[in-house]
Structure 1
Amino acid sequence: MRFVIKHEIKGRLRIHIIQGGMSFRQADMMEYYLSNCKCVTSVKVNERLQDAVVCYVGNREEMIETLRHFSYQKVDVPETFLQNSGRELNRTYWDKLVNKVVLRMGSKMFLPYPIRAGITMVRSVKYLWAGVSALAKGRIEVPVLDGTAIGVSLLRNDINTAGSIMFLLGIGEILEEWTHKKSVDDLARSMSLNVSKVWLCQDGQEILVPASEIKEGDEVCIHMGNVIPFDGVVTEGDAMVNQASLTGESLPVHKSVEGYVYAGTVLEEGELTIRVKEVNGSSKFEKIVTMIEESEKLKSSLESKAEHLADRLVPYTLLGTGITWLFTRNTTKALAVLMVDFSCALKLAMPVSVLSAIREASVHNITVKGGKFLEAMAEADTIVFDKTGTLTKAQPTVVDVVSFMDKPTEELLRIAACLEEHFPHSMAKAVVDAAQEKNLVHEELHSKVEYIVAHGISSTIEGKSVVIGSYHFVFEDEKCVVPEGYEEQFNSLPSEYSHLYMAIENRLAAVICIEDPLRDEAAAVVNSLKTAGIKKVVMMTGDSERTASAIAARVGVDEYYSEVLPEDKASFVEKAKAEGHKVIMIGDGINDSPALSAADIGIAISDGAEIAREIADVTIGADNLYEIVTLKVLSNALMKRIHKNYRTIVGFNTGLIVLGVAGVLQPTVSALLHNTSTLVITLKSMQNLLD
């Protein structure tokens, strides 16, 4: 790449790229390439100026050489990154905003009054027609008020006022549309499909391969709790599929042979083999965007109330105008009421506040699927934590494998990993990772694997039954026993670890000891949540009483429950809601899904089971639980902003009406102040809530 250095200081270069022009795609490609270089700490590419600002660490000459080696043809950028960057969207709306302001100022400065008047008359047709259309449908709403204000201004030959009203309404429309589309796109990108590996069915076996290697016509096996990675036709199996993210259906849909499944939906129960029809997941991103834009999920109840209140206030504004004229017989004073109303600011500022908060949450690695969940978070007083992978670290590790038969521990770990790799759970991942670290590569020896939620896995290997899971599952449900002579070894298992039991032919074969350390920030997060307004913190886990009590004491929860099943978690949430509490549920596994669905706001950990993320209302990153506190504080701040906006809008506009009726302010001044205040409140509503 050819470029010149325009400015530099230590650790920062501003360069100008020498080429005929830069497209949005090329700018995204360069930004992706540079941001993935180890020496680069931040990069910003401006496609219009063909400039790039690069901050880096290390040797300057190495950075220069990295820039020289860049080529659009050589860099491999994921198509999803290019499609969803948002660069073109931001540029489009910024240009719209600048063009509108420039045209407004330019016309006032350079166009003669008759031409400006003609343009204003033409532009007013849109607003007048919208008002007439609303009246024709029997609705007296905001378009009626806007049309009336513009129409009366034109009848009085007050072209400047009519132009100012339309200019400010136009600016508001652009800002609202920009914020809305940006928030929706950010949300959709967070919800978009991101599957790296899939199970390819080949020669009677399941082989784990990168998703990028799958071609149209390949057969792929999807296990319970996993996302369906491609559009396709079912060739084998019977299952229930959660399609809520795509169709909005609240109940899972039954799928069997010859049924069609869609990329991004989640297999909730059962197992399917599909023949791939669309390797790129069809237009999943566009489908999600459409779903979000059409869904009432995006609106909080306060936001909906603001819209309805805005429309309900219109008749009163018109009535106030008429009464003022009847009592004063002064058209100017009557127009002072008409030119000022509460509806514009209410209808514009509230949605912008909510959507801006959703956008701000995404900056903190928090995906919120709708404004009403921010409202629920602000009102919540009870929070329920799952333990494994939530309060404890998302990466438990195997510390020991204790053998209870004449087989080496490496062989037993290999068998366990062979079974566990089919299902998404932090404990299963620990077993698979431990086997990989020891280079215990295995063939797929087992028959069909069956996963029993919150219990374990059963299968057969070389004709022998194998089960792996919890104590309850292995010893109580499956009636397995400890081999003779191993009782003392069994009773002396280290108590500080979680235990995963594996039995072959109903006899205990191995106990895998797993360290599941508490997150460093867990206790501080619980304390911070209480400071932010949470009154009751509960921990629920399927682990033993011994492990649960130790974790609960260290975290500082108000209540804890051990050895619970998925339905127990959901029942607790439903009971708390029935008692009048607003409940948050936080989990990461398939077994947490019923409770996540039942809660007022379900929060899933980003690297947990796909079905948990699909059902949850909010997804947070796996690295830090402080994101929950951030979400609570953000939600509280949003509610404060909304209530403050209400007070400001009502107070300021009431003042304008009083001053107008008293004759202190002329209608043109009232209109200008009203529309300016609406714009200022909307712009302030777009500011970040957290400093």
Structure 2
Amino acid sequence: MGSWRWRVPLVSGLLIVASFAASAASGADALGDALMVAAAAVAGWGIAVKAARALMVRVVGIDLLVSVAAIGAVIIGEYWEAAAVTFLFAVGHALENATLSRTRSALAELVAVAPEVAVVLRGGEQVEVPAASVAVGEEVLVKNGARVPVDGEVTGGTGALDEASITGESIPVEKTTGDEVYAGTVSMGGFLQVRAAGVGAGTTLARIIHRVEEAQDAKARTAAFMDRFSSWYTPAVIALALAFGLATGDAVLALTLLVIGCPGALVISIPVAIVAGIGRGAKDGILIKGGEYLETSARIDAVALDKTGTLTEGRPYLTDVVPLGAAWSRADVLGWAARAEAGSEHPLARPIVDAARGEGLDITGLPEATEPVPGKGIVATLDGHRVAVGNLALLEDEGVTSAVIAGVVDELAAAGRTPMVVAVDARPAGVVAVADRVRSDAARMVADLHAAGVKKVVMLTGDTRRVAEAVAGQVGVDEVRAELLPEGKLEAVAGLRARGHVVAMVGDGVNDAPALATADIGVAMGAAGTGVAIETADIALMKDDLSKLPRAIAMARSTVSVMRQNIFIALGTVGALLAGVLLGGVTMAIGMLVHEISVLVVIGNAMRLLRRRGTPRTAGGTPDRTPHRSEARDPDRLAS
């Protein structure tokens, strides 16, 4: 398709070159003229067909003006002018189509997330059936590693589900009897028995698919500037040429006005600026899916950010080890916790075990016995000692109560972390905590967005409010909306738009897709993002570098500024030439020379966008090198 797009201007250009070569040869002027007419015909045929079709539905556009001017130029023997006008127009259309064409496969990616099969209990036996055939009320079994095929309620068993694709929750959620589960989430351990409540099109995942489809259908492409401009410019030029031709009886003057009036520089000015802006973005790892999104991005004044995988890294880490009393060291607490969790399938066991190994602790060997306690933690027997690792409820079951422990746990939870108490033989040893770590560049990115003119930065997340507010305090966002399902994120974005904001939504997962599609501009985090987020978004940051977001907005504003400059240059040139023709002194040859110079000027102006820009600047105009709180503090220790 891409090669076909450029075939017409390529063939026309080759014919123009061949015409000049033939004319330079002695006695070959006739051949040169024939080749130039052929070049005009090749480039102008499609333009003429479009003009004729538009006239059939009573639409007058630039295509008609170019067609009339080219035909008139051929009639009066100005073959080069006819070829030049049509060739420039063909190149402009090819550039515009190249930058605006894009293929979306978001819905296909979303459907791929949905599980195809389900294991149900029928007649007391496990039966594997297509997920779409599960009936409401049936009992569905979800085993370790399997995707949940339905929305429903847990009626038996325990397990941990990775719900990041639906709720955005950064840490797998423990599920026990009475808890809700969603189709498309993944079991990270355990065994669940689920009563189906939402199946097929009634699942949360199916509603996400519907929302994406609905939002994309509603997002009509903005009308091209040339269409709006030509609705009055073309009739005006044709009427002007006709009036002067009739008044003076000079057909050459009328045709000269038509040729001079063809805005060659204007035709190419917008596409070449778009190509340059998109090309600069691509070199910087910013993929922009069309010129209309560049224009919209230049007006962004509100940015909505997903938390998990965008402001945070999306993986749990050990953040704190707090010994309780002088009898216990950090190594003691972490070592007992890691050895106990070594026999656990719980997702939070891995960061504890990995941290212990990273600190060189000896955690070889498995517990003599391991007893998972659903919704509370784990109890293990190690070298004859009973070790419990879990929440306060587990410690109460073990007969351990302490106001000091409760205070440490509450402080860690308030900091947005998941605390687990470690007790050895019913004696509290300490507390370990894990969390999804905030990206080191998140605070700088938010500050740069504000410096770039963004008035409101909002964090949207499915995480709990305490976790969300803890992250927000570190990165400096203006507003927090927590515990949101995908539809809640979509409603938040729609609300910002309803209040008059031009909204960019930044996300990385399936759960963000509806909001990405609803926002004026959807921005996907590339390396960390799912395929559906990247395909749904209008801008994709191909690397996990948050500084690229304010850079993308700045680049969009620069591109739109260049587009406006080019429009002014093109229209100013046409206006001056038309005045020169009417006042005398500007011939068709002079007019075409000036037209060609103006084309080079607008191209050169657009090429300035390809220059690499330096360090992002603050509103005051100087590079901002002040360290942010997230860079100055140690995130791995509990503030005392």
Matches within 5 A, 1:220-239: none
| Cα separation, 2, equivalents of 1:343 and 1:334 | 16
Checking the alignment, whether the CA contact within 8 Å between 2:503 and 2:521 is kept in structure 1 is yes
1:113 aligns with 2:113: no
Tell me the CA shift for residue 165 of structure 1.
Answer: 3.7
SS class of match (2:303): strand
Equivalent residue in structure 1 for 2:399, among 470, 485, 488: 485
Contact preservation (8 Å) 1:392, 1:516? yes
Correspondence list, 1:396-545, <5 A: 396-399=316-319, 409-410=337-338, 413=341, 418=345, 420=347, 483-488=397-402, 489=405, 491-493=407-409, 495=412, 498-500=416-418, 513-543=433-463
Distance apart, 1:627 and its partner CA: 0.4
Name the counterpart of 1:162.
Answer: 82
| Contact 1:497–1:515 under 8 Å retained in 2 | no
SS of aligned partner of 1:380? coil
State the Cα distance separating 1:529 from its structure 2 match. 1.6
Correspondence for 2:546: 625
Structure 2 Cα separation of the partners of residues 119 and 295 of structure 1: 46
State whether residues 445 and 547 of structure 2, in contact with CA within 8 Å, keep that contact through their aligned partners in structure 1. Answer: yes
Q: C-alpha displacement at 1:434, in angstroms?
A: 6.4
Counterparts of residues 93-112 of structure 1 (less than 5 Å):
99=14, 102-110=17-25, 112=28
Compute the displacement of 1:324 (Å): 1.6
Separation of aligned partners in 1, 2:5 and 2:317 = 44
Distance in 2, matches of 1:654 and 1:223, equals: 63
1:372 equivalent in alignment to 2:289: no
Change beyond 3 A, Cα 1:595–1:140: closer
Q: Secondary structure at the match of 1:688?
A: helix
Change (3 A) 1:545 1:675: same
Please name the residue that 1:604 is paired with.
524
Q: 1:135: which partner in 2?
A: 52
Task: State the Cα distance separating 1:99 from its structure 2 match.
Answer: 4.8
1:316 and 2:245 aligned:
no
Looking at structure 1, the residues matched to 588 and 96 of structure 2 have their Cα atoms a distance apart, in angstroms, of 31
Structure 2 unaligned runs (5+)? 118-127, 129-141, 147-160, 167-181, 186-197, 324-334, 365-369, 378-389, 422-429, 613-640
Q: 2:251 aligns with which of 320, 324, 331?
A: 331
Compare 479-488 and 157-166 and name the one that shifted more. Answer: 479-488
Residue 550 of structure 2 is aligned to residue 635 of structure 1: no
Percent identity reads 24
Per-residue CA shift, 1:163-186, capped at 9, x if unaligned? 44455456x35xx5367547858x
| Further displaced range: 559-568 or 663-672 | 559-568
How far, CA to CA, are the matches of 1:115 and 1:629 in structure 2? 55
User: Are the structure 2 counterparts of residues 465 and 372 from structure 1 closer, same or farther at C-alpha, using a change threshold of 3 Å?
Assistant: farther
Structure 1 Cα separation of the partners of residues 86 and 515 of structure 2: 49
Aligned to 2:574: 653
Q: Is the 8 A contact 2:99 2:274 kept in 1?
A: no
CA contact (8 A) 1:199 1:207 kept: no
2:594 matched to 1:673? yes
Q: How many residues align?
A: 494
1:492 match: secondary structure: helix
Instruction: Supply the distance in 1 between the matched residues of 2:162 and 2:464 (Cα, whole angstroms).
Output: 27
| 1:256, distance to aligned residue in structure 2 (A) | 6.5
Call closer, same or farther: CA 1:135–1:184 in 2, change over 3 Å. closer
Equivalent position SS for 2:260: coil
- Contact 1:297/1:372 (CA < 8 Å) preserved in 2? no
Aligned 8 A contact 1:183 1:359 in 2: no
Distance 2:466 2:246 in 1: 80
* Distance (Å, rounded) in 2 between the aligned partners of 1:617 and 1:439: 49
Question: Partners in 1 of 2:431 and 2:143 — Cα distance?
Answer: 28
CA shift, 1:665, in A, is 0.7
Deviations 1:1-41 (A, max 9, x none): xxxxxxxxxxxxxxxxxxxxxxxxxxxxxxxxxxxxxxxxx
Q: What displacement does 1:583 show?
A: 1.9
Is 1:177 matched with 2:94? yes
Residue 48 of structure 2 aligns to which amino acid in structure 1? G
With over 3 angstroms needed to count, the CA separation of the structure-2 counterparts of 1:634 and 1:304, relative to structure 1, is same
Q: Specify the code of the residue in structure 2 equivalent to 1:618.
A: I
Cα shift at 1:142: 3.0
* C-alpha distance 183-147 of structure 1, shift in aligned 2 (>3 A): closer
> 1: distance between equivalents of 2:481 and 2:38?
69
Task: Rate the CA distance shift 1:616–1:223 in 2: closer, same or farther, 3 A.
Answer: farther
Structure 2: which amino acid aligns with 1:310? S
Match of 1:17 in 2: none
DSSP-derived class of the 1:379 partner: coil
In 1, Cα distance between the equivalents of 2:65 and 2:6?
Answer: 32
Q: 1:435 to 1:570 in 2, by over 3 A?
A: farther
Residue deviations 1:21-79 (CA, integer Å, cap 9, x gap): xxxxxxxxxxxxxxxxxxxxxxxxxxxxxxxxxxxxxxxxxxxxxxxxxxxxxxxxxxx
> Quick check: 1:149–1:339 contact (8 Å CA) kept in 2?
yes
**Residues 497, 369 of structure 1: alpha-carbon distance in 2 compared, 3 angstrom cutoff:** same
**SS at the partner of 1:623?**
coil
> What letter is aligned with 1:117?
D
Q: Give 1:630 deviation, angstroms.
A: 0.6
One-letter identity of the residue aligned with 1:656? L
Residue 383 of structure 1 corresponds to: 303
For residues 487-537 of structure 1, the C-alpha deviation after alignment (integer angstroms, 9 at most, x for no partner) is: 43454236286434799xxxxxx9972244443333332222222211122
Equivalent position amino acid for 1:615 in 2: T
Structure-1 separation of matches of 2:242 and 2:485: 65
Q: 1:169 to 1:623 in 2, by over 3 A?
A: closer
Aligned mates of 2:509, 2:45 — CA distance in 1: 55
Range with greater deviation from structure 2 (339-348 or 665-674): 339-348
Number of the residue aligned with 2:120: none
> Residue 154 and residue 571 in structure 1: after superposition, are their counterparts in 2 closer, same or farther (change >3 A)?
closer
Q: Which has the larger radius of gyration?
A: 2
- Alignment partner of 1:664 out of 545, 564, 585: 585
- 2:261 maps to what in 1? 341
Q: Comparing both chains, which one has the higher relative contact order based on Cα–Cα distances under 8 Å and sequence gaps of 6 or more?
A: 2
> 5 Å matches for 1:218-257?
none
- Contact 1:239–1:256 (CA under 8 A) maintained in structure 2: no
Q: Provide the rounded CA distance (Å) in 2 between the counterparts of 1:600 and 1:575.
A: 12
Runs of 5+ consecutive residues of structure 1 not aligned to the other structure: 1-83, 209-221, 228-237, 242-253, 258-266, 272-290, 421-426, 442-460, 469-473, 504-509
C-alpha distance 582-182 of structure 1, shift in aligned 2 (>3 A): closer
Deviation at 1:225, TM superposition (A): 7.1
**Does the CA contact (< 8 Å) of 2:165 and 2:511 recur in 1?**
no
Change (3 A) 1:537 1:164: closer
Aligned mates of 2:318, 2:273 — CA distance in 1: 46
Q: CA offsets per residue over residues 621-653 of structure 1, 9 Å max, x none? A: 453211011111011112212222222221111
- 2:609 maps to a residue whose letter is N
Mapped contact 2:11–2:39 kept (Cα < 8 A): no
Compared with structure 1, are the counterparts of its residues 552 and 462 closer, same or farther at alpha carbon in structure 2 (3 Å cutoff)? closer
User: What is the alpha-carbon root mean square deviation over aligned residues?
Assistant: 5.5
